[in-house]
C-alpha cells in the first residue's frame, strides 16, 4: 500500500483522533501543530516536501 498526498490528511486525522480520545489534554497541541503545518504548506514554505 502506497501513501499518497491524498491519504495524508486522513491518516493525520485518524492518528490525532485516537490521541485525543486517549489523552484529551493533547487537543490544544494537536490543533496548534496542525494549524501551523497547514499555514506553512499554504504559504508554500514546505514545497521541498512535495506535499
- Residue 40 counted as domain residue: yes
For residue 28, give its domain range.
Answer: 23-51
Give the chain's domain count: 1
- Residue 17 counted as domain residue: no
- Residue 49 counted as domain residue: yes
Tell which residue, 22, 24, 31, has the closest CA to residue 12. 31
pLDDT of residue 46: 64
CA–CA dist 27, 43 (Å, integer): 24
CA–CA dist 12, 19 (Å, integer): 11
CA–CA dist 8, 5 (Å, integer): 5
CA–CA dist 27, 38 (Å, integer): 16
Decide: 6 and 20 in contact? Cβ < 8 Å. Answer: no
Question: pLDDT per residue over 1-51, tens digit each?
Answer: 566 666 777 888 888 888 888 888 888 888 888 888 877 777 777 666 665
- Residue 51 counted as domain residue: yes
Amino acid at each position: 500500500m502506497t501513501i499518497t498526498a491524498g491519504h495524508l490528511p486522513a491518516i493525520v486525522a485518524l492518528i490525532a483522533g485516537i490521541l485525543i480520545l486517549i489523552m484529551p489534554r493533547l487537543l490544544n497541541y494537536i490543533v496548534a501543530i496542525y494549524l501551523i503545518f497547514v499555514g506553512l504548506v499554504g504559504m508554500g514554505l514546505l514545497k521541498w516536501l512535495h506535499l
